[in-house]
């Protein structure tokens, strides 16, 4: 934690901890809090039905950082209260000697679709400014996980939007492959953490979002799943999933040529207008023509986008290229790729490769794409 101590005015890191009912969120939180100094961390717990139970468990580790919302689902009835609580945490007055709040963890109810919560974080003026999403951490248990993913849309969404997945109850099953396959189909390359792996939980769960500006650190390349970065397989096209899991899939648009910022804005506006409800999550780093040395990172859910943030420089080890990762539900990949190409002058997905046509021994002399 000392490495990311919050500078005055720097955003509060916010982790959304989600996972299906009984997956082990509270157990994980208890472990995390027992490992992590809690003086500058607050936990917002939302429960559905069993009010108070989780608070009792968490209180053993953190006597004063816990705020429990009243009964209700965090994605709908308590959404207003969650926003109010986060506003209160960001704006509360505090004695001069107390350190500023560095982190907030929101534990959602197991039945929550996390996308409305993420949308609130991105679109509420004060929240978008005061908080930086440090990552969506989803807990999946080996015992019930595969069945939940097969049967419950909210469980699939929790996995699809995760920046990190924690696997619990591995001690209770012999075979792990079916669940790992189901996760890979929804969110290929997501970083997996086995809850049985000893200490250092905070290190593995925190810092999996995008941060930088400028430069509050975190690791945008890892967040994006850029090739060569730990925890991700680096996928440009994966996650076909038209079977039992419906049509949640992810793909990446990659373009090395810098693009005009206004073309990207136009592309995103049209995406939001036409595909909004199908976008579970969008993460992007943009190689902008106007500032090729300083990329812009973007993220969004549904039709909402977080205000763009410009990084100090390209993340170490990442080549300058635009990389847009889209996780969608019934999202039309060809349409999206063609739309991007139309706005940015890139190659259309169904058009021949320019180099293959121009640098081809059979190419028509003098012919080139203009």
Is residue 235 within 8 A of residue 188, CB to CB? The reply is: yes
What does the DSSP assignment read for 15-65?
EEEEESTTSSHHHHHHHHHHHS--TTEEEEE--SSSTTHHHHHHHTT-SSS
Contact pattern for ligand GTP over residues 180 through 209, marking x by CB under 6 A: ---------------x--------------
> Which residues are CB-neighbours of 97 under 8 A, at least 6 positions away?
none
Name which of 148 and 168 has its Cβ closer to ligand GTP. 168
Residue 226: strand, helix, or coil: coil
Instruction: State the CB neighbour count (10 A cutoff) for residue 342.
Output: 14
Name which of 21 and 266 has its Cβ closer to ligand GTP. 21
Closest CA relative to residue 209, chosen from 108, 283, 109, 110:
283
Least distance (Å) from ligand GTP to the CB of residue 49? 9
- The C-alpha R_g of the chain, in whole angstroms, comes to 21
Name which of 146 and 326 has its Cβ closer to ligand GTP. 146
Contact pattern for ligand GTP over residues 274 through 293, marking x by CB under 6 A: --------------------
Could you tell me how far CA 197 lies from the centroid of its own chain?
A: 23
Q: Which of 17, 54, 75, 119 is the binder for ligand GTP (CB under 6 A)?
A: 54
Q: What spatial distance separates the first Cα and last Cα of the chain, rounded to whole Å?
A: 53
Least distance (Å) from ligand GTP to the CB of residue 207? 22
Which listed range, 67-75, 151-159, 167-175, 206-214, lies at the site for ligand GTP (CB under 6 A)? 167-175
Name which of 69 and 268 has its Cβ closer to ligand GTP. 69
Name which of 30 and 322 has its Cβ closer to ligand GTP. 30
Binding residues for ligand GTP restricted to 106-165, rule: CB under 6 A:
110
- What single DSSP character describes residue 181? H
Which listed range, 2-10, 169-177, 234-242, 358-366, lies at the site for ligand GTP (CB under 6 A)? 169-177
Sign of CA dihedral 235, 238, 244, 247: positive
Least distance (Å) from ligand GTP to the CB of residue 147? 15
CA dihedral 222, 223, 224, 226 (to 10 degrees): 0
Name which of 70 and 360 has its Cβ closer to ligand GTP. 70
Least distance (Å) from ligand GTP to the CB of residue 15? 15
Q: How far apart are CA 357 and CA 363, in angstroms?
A: 6
Burial readout 294-309 (b: 16 or more C-beta within 10 A, e: otherwise) = ebbbbbbbbbbbbebb
Name which of 54 and 134 has its Cβ closer to ligand GTP. 54
Which listed range, 168-176, 216-224, 290-298, 301-309, lies at the site for ligand GTP (CB under 6 A)? 168-176
Name which of 101 and 195 has its Cβ closer to ligand GTP. 195
Q: How far apart are CA 156 and CA 152, in angstroms?
A: 7
Contact pattern for ligand GTP over residues 7 through 26, marking x by CB under 6 A: ------------x-xxxxxx
Q: Which of 64, 97, 171, 350 is the binder for ligand GTP (CB under 6 A)?
A: 171
Q: Which of 1, 4, 10, 27 is the binder for ligand GTP (CB under 6 A)?
A: 27
Tell me which residue has tokens 């023509």: 289
Binding residues for ligand GTP restricted to 66-105, rule: CB under 6 A:
none
Q: In Å, how far are 104, 117, 161, 283 from 75, measured between CA atoms? A: 17, 6, 15, 21
Interhelix angle 153-160/177-186, nearest 10 degrees? 70
Name which of 172 and 364 has its Cβ closer to ligand GTP. 172
Name which of 87 and 143 has its Cβ closer to ligand GTP. 143
Least distance (Å) from ligand GTP to the CB of residue 4? 26
Q: Which of 15, 18, 36, 168 is the binder for ligand GTP (CB under 6 A)?
A: 168
Report the relative pairing of strands 103-107 and 131-141 from DSSP bridges.
unpaired
Work out whether 172 is an interface residue with ligand GTP (CB under 6 A): yes
List interacting residues with ligand GTP (CB under 6 A): 19, 21-27, 54, 110, 168-169, 171-172, 195
């Amino acid at each position: 934690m000392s490495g990311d101590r919050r500078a005055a005015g720097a955003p509060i890191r916010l982790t959304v901890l989600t996972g299906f009912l009984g997956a082990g969120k509270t157990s994980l939180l208890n472990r995390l809090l027992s490992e992590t100094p809690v003086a500058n961390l607050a936990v917002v717990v939302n429960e559905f039905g069993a009010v108070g139970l989780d608070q009792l468990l968490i209180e053993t580790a953190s006597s004063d950082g816990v705020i429990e919302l009243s009964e209700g689902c965090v994605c709908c009835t308590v959404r207003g209260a969650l926003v109010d609580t986060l506003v209160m945490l960001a704006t509360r007055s505090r004695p001069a000697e107390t350190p500023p709040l560095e982190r907030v963890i929101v534990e959602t109810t197991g039945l929550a679709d996390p996308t409305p919560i993420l949308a609130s974080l991105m679109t509420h003026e004060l929240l978008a400014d005061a908080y930086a999403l440090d990552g969506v951490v989803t807990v999946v248990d080996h015992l019930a996980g595969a069945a939940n993913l097969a049967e419950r849309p909210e469980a699939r969404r929790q996995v699809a939007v995760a920046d990190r997945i924690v696997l619990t109850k591995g001690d209770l099953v012999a075979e792990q492959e079916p669940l790992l396959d189901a996760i890979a189909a929804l969110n290929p390359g997501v970083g997996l953490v086995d809850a049985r792996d000893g200490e250092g939980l905070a290190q593995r769960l925190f810092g999996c979002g995008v941060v930088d500006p400028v430069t509050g650190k975190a690791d945008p390349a890892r967040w994006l799943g850029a090739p060569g970065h730990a925890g991700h397989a680096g996928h440009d096209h994966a996650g076909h999933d038209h079977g039992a899991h419906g049509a949640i899939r992810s793909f990446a648009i990659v373009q090395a040529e810098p693009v005009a910022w206004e073309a990207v804005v136009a592309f995103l506006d049209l995406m939001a207008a036409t595909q909004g409800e199908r976008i579970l999550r969008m993460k992007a780093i943009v190689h902008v023509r106007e500032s090729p040395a300083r990329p812009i990172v973007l993220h969004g859910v549904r039709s909402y986008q977080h205000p763009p943030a410009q990084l100090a420089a390209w993340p170490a080890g990442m080549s300058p290229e635009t990389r847009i990762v889209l996780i969608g539900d019934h999202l039309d990949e060809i349409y999206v790729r063609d739309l991007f190409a139309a706005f940015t002058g890139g190659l259309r997905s169904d058009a021949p490769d320019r180099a293959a046509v121009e640098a081809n021994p059979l190419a028509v002399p003098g012919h080139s794409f203009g």
